[in-house]
A = this chain, B = another copy of it.
Amino acid sequence: MNFSHPLAGGAVARCRGLLEPALREAVSVLHPWGARMAAFALGWSDADGKPYRGDSGKGVRPAVSMLAAEAVGAGAESALPAAVAVELVHAFSLAHDDIIDHDERRRHREALWKAYGVGPALLAGDALLALAVRQVAERPEAMTWVSAALVELVQGQAADMAFENRPWHGPRQVTLAEYVEMAAGKTGGLLGAAAAAGVALGGAPELGERMWALGRDLGVAFQIVDDMLGIWGDPLVTGKPVYSDLRRDKKTFPVLAALGTGGAPARELSEMLSAGLADEESIQEAARLVEEAGGRASAQETADQYLSSALTALDECLPEATELRALCSSLVNRDN
């Protein structure tokens, strides 16, 4: 991720310096075979174990935890158990989601299951999750949030999968409210846990609930932007195939918002989607119709609203948290 705000990039890099030794230590206990898959999943090595210099993810969630701890006056290292846990949970969820969604590519290279097989990748995901839980097992003030995020994550993923079997129009079509609930769980829960566990370990557990809500709002904004990048992002920058969500009939926010406008482009789009996007031309035409119907503008507006809600909460609770604020903004204002 390229951070739109220089303050965010610097803070994340600083947190990553603290995180990485702790993360490597957490993973070091694994069976050699599991350790190799974990190193691949965490972006430290390529599939045959050689050090990897590409994009390994920037550790945004751990940075949220550590910056939240700093914002309540503690040292970033006080949040390390939560920081390591949320990064491991994130890696677990990517490993399993790619199996579930049959996604073959992740961060410009093969998905874990593509590199090692479904069974091993599934087990490696379980191992990452087991290590995540162990990190905070003796810290109930953090564990509570991490476990809440885990439940939200699987519920959100289940909702997202269930959306696939829902029609594009009629009484059973997916509503924007259902989308928001799904994204708050699937994407927001872990951001919420990162922030809430960060303030709790930093000594301000009374801010936990507000940080949790902030993370969920931020997650909704983040997921909507993700959906937009999936349609209008540059595949060379995002590392994802162009139009992959449209190709798979995914119920993304821009498409749902476009359908909800009810005008002529929305009706045309609805008919195309219901008939199925058979070829490249129809996929491009559908993307054009989403924009023409106002789906892109509506998505941007909604993402901005959720970001604004998160930032307002932050300004009220932690007005001095300039780095955390910059990071939250960067998560929504991004091109990959």
Does A129 have its Cβ within 8 Å of any Cβ on chain B?
yes
Q: Does B34 contact A154, Cβ atoms closer than 8 Å?
A: yes
Q: Does B31 contact A155, Cβ atoms closer than 8 Å?
A: yes
Does A131 have its Cβ within 8 Å of any Cβ on chain B?
yes
Q: Mark A132-150, 1 if CB is under 8 A from B, else 0.
A: 0110011110011011101
Does A100 have its Cβ within 8 Å of any Cβ on chain B?
yes
Q: Does A158 contact B96, Cβ atoms closer than 8 Å?
A: no
Q: Mark A91-131, 1 if CB is under 8 A from B, else 0.
A: 00000100111100000000000000011101100110111
**Smallest CB gap from A89: residue in B:** B130
Does A29 have its Cβ within 8 Å of any Cβ on chain B?
yes
**Smallest CB gap from A157: residue in B:** B123
Does A162 have its Cβ within 8 Å of any Cβ on chain B?
yes
Q: Does A151 contact B134, Cβ atoms closer than 8 Å?
A: yes
Q: Does B30 contact A123, Cβ atoms closer than 8 Å?
A: no
Does A218 have its Cβ within 8 Å of any Cβ on chain B?
no
A146 to B147, CA, bound (A): 13
**Smallest CB gap from A185: residue in B:** B31
Q: Does A148 contact B123, Cβ atoms closer than 8 Å?
A: no
Residues of B within 8 A of A130 (CB): 147, 150-151, 153-154
Residues of B within 8 A of A31 (CB): 155, 158-159, 162
Partner of A143, one of B30, B123, B137, B158: B137
Q: Which of A120, A146, A147, A161 has the most CB of B within 10 A?
A: A147
Copies of this chain in the oligomer: 2
Residues of B within 8 A of A118 (CB): 99, 118
Q: Does A137 contact B129, Cβ atoms closer than 8 Å?
A: no
A-side interface residues, number (CB < 8 Å): 41
Residues of B within 8 A of A154 (CB): 34, 123, 126-127, 130
Q: Does B127 contact A100, Cβ atoms closer than 8 Å?
A: no
Q: Does B138 contact A143, Cβ atoms closer than 8 Å?
A: yes
**Given that A134-B148, A138-B140, A150-B134 are known contacts, is A126 also in contact with B96, CB under 8 Å in the complex?**
yes
Q: Does B147 contact A122, Cβ atoms closer than 8 Å?
A: no
A158 to B34, CA, bound (A): 7
Tell me which residues from 1 to 54 in chain A have a Cβ below 8 Å from any Cβ of chain B: 29-31, 33-34
Residues of B within 8 A of A138 (CB): 140, 143-144
Residues of B within 8 A of A102 (CB): 119
Q: Which of A134, A143, A154 has the most CB of B within 10 A?
A: A154
Interchain Cβ contacts under 8 Å between A and B, 23 examples? A29-B151, A29-B155, A33-B158, A33-B162, A96-B123, A96-B126, A120-B161, A122-B122, A123-B161, A126-B157, A127-B155, A127-B158, A129-B129, A130-B150, A130-B153, A133-B150, A134-B148, A134-B150, A137-B140, A137-B146, A138-B143, A138-B144, A140-B140
- Measuring CB to CB, which residues of chain A are less than 8 angstroms from any residue of chain B? 29-31, 33-34, 96, 99-102, 118-120, 122-123, 126-127, 129-131, 133-134, 137-140, 143-144, 146-148, 150-151, 153-155, 157-159, 161-162
Known pairs A100-B119, A130-B147, A134-B147. 15 more at Cβ < 8 A?
Answer: A30-B155, A33-B161, A34-B155, A96-B122, A96-B123, A99-B118, A101-B119, A118-B118, A120-B161, A130-B154, A133-B133, A133-B143, A133-B147, A134-B151, A138-B140
